[in-house]
Chains A and B, each alone.
Chain A
Amino acid sequence: MPFKWEVFTAASLVCYHPHSPGFNLPTLKSVSITLGALLLVVAIVLLARPNYVGVRAGRADENYLQSQDCKSCHEDHFNSWARTFHSRMTQEARPETVQGDFRQHNSFEYLGVKALMERKANGFIMSFSFPDGRTQTVSVDRTVGSRRIEQYLTRQSDQYTRLPLAYDLVNHRWMSLNGSFFHPDNDNYFQHLSQWDGNCVFCHNVKAQPHIDFKTKSFNTEVSELGIACGACHGEGADHVQEALSPLNRTLWHLDKDKPKLIVNPTKLPAERSMMICGHCHGQRVPEPYDLIQTILTRGDPYNAGDDLTKFYRPISQTTQIGKVSFANRFWQNGSPRLTAYEYQGVLRSKCFINGQPGKQINCLTCHSMHEGDPAGQITEENRTDKPCLSCHPKFSATSELVAHTRHKQDSSGSRCYNCHMPKVVYGVMSFHPTHDITIPNPAQTVTHQVPNACNQCHLERSVNWAIAESKRLWPTHYESIQKSDDKQFDFPEGPRALFAGDALTRALSADSLSGNGPMTPDSNWAAPFLVEALADNYPIVRFFAANGLSKQPWVVVKPDYLANRSQQEQLLSELRRLVESKFGEASRAAGLMSEELRKRRQDVDLEVGE
């Protein structure tokens, strides 16, 4: 002990000796000045720090940030998100965002109304000339959608209205939205004019707040950010960013990946809770309790990513009814969803989910990723294969097991998991998509519940009764109880049967399959006469898919216009019938007879797809 005191005393004398080259008085001065400068730097930096918490105090999006705020630390994630269609879901209409043709092929006539779409110096406009001589010009202020169709919003006083025309980005043409929904031809040009503020805003943007005044029926809509941005999946970010301002905190986060970062990471949530983030929009819902609608339309959507969705909403199902409005038509008769934006409901029904280990069930992120893969589907190339299924069902990695299971050749479309267990029977935005109700195919359900079956999605030239017989033959135990139908329509080839005898959605699906967009492409010479007959359908959406299929035929010089007026359609139909008769002779006559026979069995139900 005494020794240590002597060392300390000697050191002190050295330090405080005026001519010592070590720690002397000048050195202490240097230390003091340096520390003073350092404190000044620290004070300036700390005082100049931004504040993110509560910047919109009192609002529903109080602690939400813009995606640009995330970019400075998460540039890779920002860039991977920015290339997705989610990021461009809703945009201000500017030259760099609008994809529709407002310059060259910018006119469209439908139901006698002539529309002209123009780009002006100060923005975009749509002008309508009505048969009675009236004209109307509206500004195009926002766009909705950027992949298949681009819809347009105009701001009128306090709210945004969706215009009746949209631009088909796949076929590069203007269209009426009448052509994308399941309604028969009618004279209502404005049938799909709709209000954005109280409806579309919730799923196409982050943290929508309509601020409706129920007395005046006016809106003062705000969103945290247009489009589906970071906050939609990661929730509030202000606390996270505020903590991340400190380089020390960030270093600790880097060193300990499990340290709470005050923000939602969907990949780290239990499966069911993670799926609710996507299900908030990809699972149409109603408020629960229903009175919550008042809060939703005023203060805004109460749900934040990571919350228990069931505290605010319940998913719409086949039995959901609000007043006189039933949602049953959005589902196949067996309860399986048949429209997009019901993927959440589909997964919840799937045995893959129901039988999964709690917290680790199959969920959206099993196959999809916001930050990886092709933006078309948010899915990597690898996950488009059987890989996601094989992760839980590895037995079928072996060729022998796969072939024994599918009863199809290994490399055929019949041996792809998705084709049988997630067939494309769901309609959305002018296209058909895989169902998310993962099931075992059952052709008998086409008879009992009018549900398209996976077998006949490939075997369009075979009947449902054939599929039932084959299923019983190949899997006798599993299909022991199913029976062929006595209804003669199910002896017809299923492609044409569904094309003419099904309801509008079934007919549209069949037209799409016969066009070669199913898992197997039918003989186009066999399918073409049926597609020609489908042009006689009184639902524009059915004609759309038929026209798409016919445009692939080398002998169809001009693509049929599914929105042409009745006389033009009839003329086109006559011409095409003559053409197919000259090319295919008896086959075309047989197709005509079959279509007449099957049309007698048609039962249509108009489908409201979300408005």
Chain B
Amino acid sequence: MTDKRDHSWVRSAAFQAFVSVAGWLTFGLVLEGFLGYKMPAYLHDGVRRELFRLAHAHGTLLSLLLLLSALACDRFNLEVAKSGQVSLRVGVTVLPLAFLIAGVWHYESDPGLAIWLVPVSAVMVLFGLVTIVLSFRQRKDS
């Protein structure tokens, strides 16, 4: 076992997180614009409005979660399994996109088929977090 951990993941995850936060915050601005300019396709479609809000909220919060995870791994020198790293990063990316796409094309009172990616990516996020939690324990034991 070596003390030097692999920080390349941390750096790229943090970069991804900042880009993602910026992107989803911008999307939030777009939604404010839709509200401000009374865009019918947004205002009069309850399903779409809800899903776009979910996309914005999840995208922003999950990006911050990714950033937090990366910083924690760096701060506490955690060795996170690659599967967990990948799972977390993919989940954080896919989940809000799934909400967004499911809102763009949707059925009456039901999201579009893309909604099925939400639980899948949510499980991926959860798996990533669990691996991080377990890596705390692993570090303590080592």
Chain A residues within 8 Å of B, Cβ to Cβ:
19, 21-24, 26-27, 29-31, 33-34, 37-38, 72-77, 247, 250-251, 254-255
With both chains docked as a complex, state the minimum distance between the C-beta of B81 and any C-beta of chain A, in angstroms: 5
Q: Which residues of A contact B108 (CB under 8 A)?
A: 73-77
Whether A21 contacts B84 in the complex (CB less than 8 A), given A73-B109, A250-B110, comes out as no
Q: Which residues of A contact B84 (CB under 8 A)?
A: 27, 30
CA distance in complex: A174, B9 (Å): 80
Which residues in chain B, 105-142, are within 8 Å of chain A measured between CB atoms?
A: 107-110, 113, 115-116, 123, 126-127, 130-131, 134-135, 138
Whether A30 contacts B134 in the complex (CB less than 8 A), given A38-B126, A75-B46, A254-B107, comes out as yes
Q: Which residues of A contact B11 (CB under 8 A)?
A: none
Q: Which residues of A contact B83 (CB under 8 A)?
A: 22-23, 27, 30
A-B contact count (CB 8 A): 58
Q: Which residues of B contact A23 (CB under 8 A)?
A: 83
With both chains docked as a complex, state the minimum distance between the C-beta of B18 and any C-beta of chain A, in angstroms: 25
CA distance in complex: A30, B115 (Å): 25
Can you add 19 more A-B contacts, CB < 8 Å, to A19-B1, A24-B81, A255-B113? A21-B82, A26-B81, A26-B134, A29-B134, A30-B127, A30-B130, A30-B134, A31-B127, A33-B130, A34-B123, A73-B108, A73-B109, A74-B108, A74-B109, A76-B108, A76-B109, A77-B108, A250-B110, A254-B110
Q: Which residues of B contact A31 (CB under 8 A)?
A: 127
CB pair B123 A26 closer than 8 Å: no
Q: Determine the residue in chain B with the shortest Cβ distance to A36.
A: B130
Q: Which residues of B contact A77 (CB under 8 A)?
A: 108
With both chains docked as a complex, state the minimum distance between the C-beta of B78 and any C-beta of chain A, in angstroms: 11
CA distance in complex: A76, B130 (Å): 42
CB pair A34 B127 closer than 8 Å: yes
Q: Determine the residue in chain B with the shortest Cβ distance to A75.
A: B109
Q: Determine the residue in chain A with the shortest Cβ distance to B127.
A: A34
With both chains docked as a complex, state the minimum distance between the C-beta of B5 and any C-beta of chain A, in angstroms: 11
Q: Determine the residue in chain A with the shortest Cβ distance to B1.
A: A19
Closest 6 CB pairs of A and B: A30-B131, A34-B127, A30-B130, A21-B82, A73-B109, A27-B81
CA distance in complex: A38, B84 (Å): 16
Q: Which residues of A contact B135 (CB under 8 A)?
A: 26
CA distance in complex: A76, B110 (Å): 12
Whether A251 contacts B130 in the complex (CB less than 8 A), given A26-B138, A38-B123, comes out as no
